[in-house]
Chains A and B, each alone.
Chain A
Amino acid sequence: MQTALDATIQLLAQALAVFVFPGILFITFLALLWQWIDRKVYARLQNRFGPLHTGWRGILQPLMDFVKLLGKEDLTPKAADRRSFAAVPVVMLVLSLVSAMFLPIIDMDPGTSGVQGILSFEGDLVFLLFMSTLMAITIVLAGYFSSNRYGQTGSARTGMLLISFEIPLVLALVTPALLTGSLRLSIITHELSKLSPAYIWLMIIPFIIYVISLQAELERIPFDVSHAEVEIVHGWQVEFSGKKLAMINLAEDIMLVFGAGMVTALFLGGPLLLEFIPIPLFSVEFAGFMATTWVGWVYYTLVFIFKSSLVIIVLSNMRTAFARWRIDQIVRAAWKFMVPLAIINLVLVQIALTYIFPILGVV
């Protein structure tokens, strides 16, 4: 009897984690919040106001847009592959949500060292890269399913963008994995926080490469060739409307949460902030208090939100400062500059780890 009760409570707690916090509901909340921050920063840098009327300084505007799109007419083109066309938004939403569940926002498994996400297993970094590639392939298929010329052009461009920027993206993630000797997101975050500050120098180039590639993965200016409203009218999205478009927009925002969260977890030290102060009060007692009590849930969440929003502001600035590149320029830049830089960086990291750090005496 007692075991059955325990199992039920366990199940309820897990359901709460998956559906409410830090699962689907919380991630959706973050997605809408990030969209608001992105829009607001983008607008202010252009000397505009951005969303203003819905809620405090327009903070509810992304939610209103989502709700309004849900109520709009849902059209399917005659020439489109009906089932696949309807499946695309659902698949995208599911893929992005599953990816976001790996983010170490709060510690879901206090027994293991490090901050674990809802889902966490050895080798999940590879799985996450696979998921993001799957997302890109879904986008390519979405354009072809809609049987629209603009959509097909947009899909072809997405494909070219993908083969250009997936490689530097993957190579940039090798460095943190190499430094910690693990492919598990939570372990990487945990181990990186224990390394000496000298290792920051090795993380700068991969960080820059990752942020640029992330901008390309999310198809934002200057890499928004597959949307390019003045050329191909939002590319692969052109035939989607109503509920489908709402789900696609939400999926893109969740991918933004996921991308910014990955930067936070792998390069900015995850949900730890005060623990890095080299005083025992912070690095031992405070860290232990946060890791074992419920206060940690609030603290880790706030730190995660703070660091991720910094990343969002960096991404918004990139969006403001550039014109849209042409697809051939993007492919050339990726293969002539980004990929060689990523490979050289790997060589440098290896040399530093094998020869330079032992000489300097860095542990």
Chain B
Amino acid sequence: MTSAGKRIVIPPRVTIPIGPQHPALKEPGMFKLTVEGEHIVDAEVNIGYNHRSIEKISENNTHLQNLYLASRICGICSATHNGNYAQAVEFAAEVEIPERAKFIRTLIWELDRIHSHILWLGVAFHEVGFDTAFMLSWRDREIVMDMLENISGNRIHHDMSTIGGVRRNISDAQKEQMLKGFDKLEERVVFYRDVAIHEKTFWNRIDGVGMLEPPIAKKTSAVGPTGRGSGLKVDVRFNDPVQAYIPMIDTGDFEMVLSDRGDVAGRSVVRVLEVIEAINMCRWLLNNMPDGPIRARVRPRIQPNEVLARHEAPRGELIHYLITNGTNKPDRWKVRAPTYNNWTSMAHCLRGDYLADAPIILAAIDPCYSCTDRVVIVDGNGETIRLVSLDNLRIESNKWHKEHPRRE
């Protein structure tokens, strides 16, 4: 009588959609979770709701215009896209930028990492319902935001890098101000590290949740804190240093932050410790900054070339692939954001965990949808890929709505 076909599964399997619009997600994405009671038995990840065709737009812009477009790819890691594009164009033009410019660019990248990681920490606190720590950590993030505003003029879109160097110089007064700010920031970050590790209600929510074993992390090519939280030695700053990372790593004072836990707790610890490491890096950069010009002249027409620029963004390895054709516009520009790599391990992390853990697991890779969604796929049938202009899209949608009148 107990044949497999007649077995009644209690509780029944329910598909719960997280997204495209959901309070746990700060940007649109779709996660279909099949749950049995509270256990997730299957997960499906759908992305692509935030496509803005930035790569296509860039082909009609000059390189200088693209710098500002690149920083608008993402609000949180704007300095990394902006700096990495400038770096790619410099590689293509085969120019060497002044030492001081390299240091300032690296400093902006590290400041960006600090603010991104503290922001992530706040989001992680929020996802497990610890709103007090969320509010307080975002208050203290203002210290680094004020620093960025002080040296670049903007809180979010710094646009500090330009082709051949940086836009602005750092004065001695600003340097002293920043060093003072780092002392306060370090004190606060150490406090949050202790909160994250010693506050039992928070630690119990992240301990052993969303396991990503090192072999699977390697197979799914996890990058950034997701990979380092699983013990993978992936950090472009150390593996393939560029800019001022070269003299900085050569001092031997800095080490890659690794954790062999492989769960959300490992990723959290890696991120928090990385903030402290980044503060020390910023101190080193400020104290050892050489004098000299901040910008080298680069001709607007870039010789035909094909380059790959790598950089360790807060979320992991960021790749800008650029083909230049002798004009002042790129032939092709491809951005591979770190979130794209980390998606592949997502379904594995989610499977077997509780529904209540889904938001923190999703948040643990620090997903940045706007970085990732730039693939031009318009037709859903899988047969053709075509570009549709806005006017055509409007005509088609009007037609569709006429054929499908609104339900009662």
Contact = CB atoms under 8 A, between A and B. Distances in A.
Given A150-B16, A222-B201, 12 more contacts: A47-B139, A156-B38, A221-B129, A228-B356, A230-B126, A231-B358, A322-B130, A323-B205, A326-B205, A327-B38, A327-B354, A327-B356
B357 interface: yes
Given A231-B358, A231-B359, A153 B127 contact: no
Interface string B128-139: 111111011001
A222 B132 CA distance: 12
Contacts of A156: 11, 37-38
A325 interface: yes
Contact of A231 (B37, B139, B204, B355): B355
Interface string A138-165: 0000000000011011001100000000
Contacts of B321: none
A327 B201 CA distance: 12
B135 A46 contact: yes
Contacts of B355: 153, 231-232
A149 B38 CA distance: 12
A5 B87 CA distance: 94
Contacts of A149: 14-17
A150 B16 CA distance: 7
B143 to A, nearest CB: 14
Contacts of A46: 131-132, 135-136
Contacts of A221: 129, 131
Contact of B16 (A153, A229, A324): A153
B125 interface: yes
Nearest to A329: B204
Q: Among A228, A229, A321, A323, find the residue whose CB has the most chain B CB atoms closer than 10 A.
A: A323
Given A156-B37, A326-B356, A329-B204, A222 B136 contact: no
Interface string A218-237: 00011011001111110000
B236 interface: no
Nearest to A45: B132
A129 to B, nearest CB: 28
A323 B204 CA distance: 10
A233 B358 CA distance: 13
B196 to A, nearest CB: 10
Chain B interface size, as a band, is 20 to 34
A131 to B, nearest CB: 28
Interface of A: 45-48, 149-150, 152-153, 156-157, 221-222, 224-225, 228-233, 320-329
Nearest to B18: A231
Nearest to B17: A149
Interface of B: 11, 14-17, 22-24, 35, 37-38, 125-133, 135-136, 139, 199, 201-202, 204-205, 354-359
Given A322-B201, A326-B356, A230 B129 contact: yes
Contact of A222 (B16, B127, B129, B139): B129
Q: Among A45, A230, A233, A327, find the residue whose CB has the most chain B CB atoms closer than 10 A.
A: A230
Secondary structure type dominating chain A contacts: helix
Given A46-B136, A47-B136, A149-B14, A231 B131 contact: no
A321 B128 CA distance: 13
A229 B23 contact: yes
B20 to A, nearest CB: 13
Q: Among B128, B139, B202, B354, find the residue whose CB has the most chain A CB atoms closer than 10 A.
A: B128
B268 to A, nearest CB: 13
B132 A230 contact: no
Contacts of A47: 135-136, 139
Contact of B357 (A222, A323, A326): A326
**Top 8 A-B pairs, shortest CB-CB distance:** A324-B129, A323-B130, A46-B135, A230-B24, A323-B201, A323-B202, A322-B201, A230-B359
Contacts of B22: 233
A323 B126 CA distance: 9
Q: Among B23, B136, B356, find the residue whose CB has the most chain A CB atoms closer than 10 A.
A: B356
Contacts of A322: 130, 201
19 contacts: A46-B135, A47-B136, A47-B139, A149-B14, A149-B16, A156-B38, A157-B38, A225-B356, A228-B356, A231-B355, A231-B358, A231-B359, A323-B128, A323-B133, A324-B205, A326-B204, A326-B354, A327-B38, A329-B204
Given A231-B24, A326-B205, A321 B354 contact: no
Contacts of B130: 322-324
Contacts of B205: 323-326
A321 B130 CA distance: 8
B354 A328 contact: yes
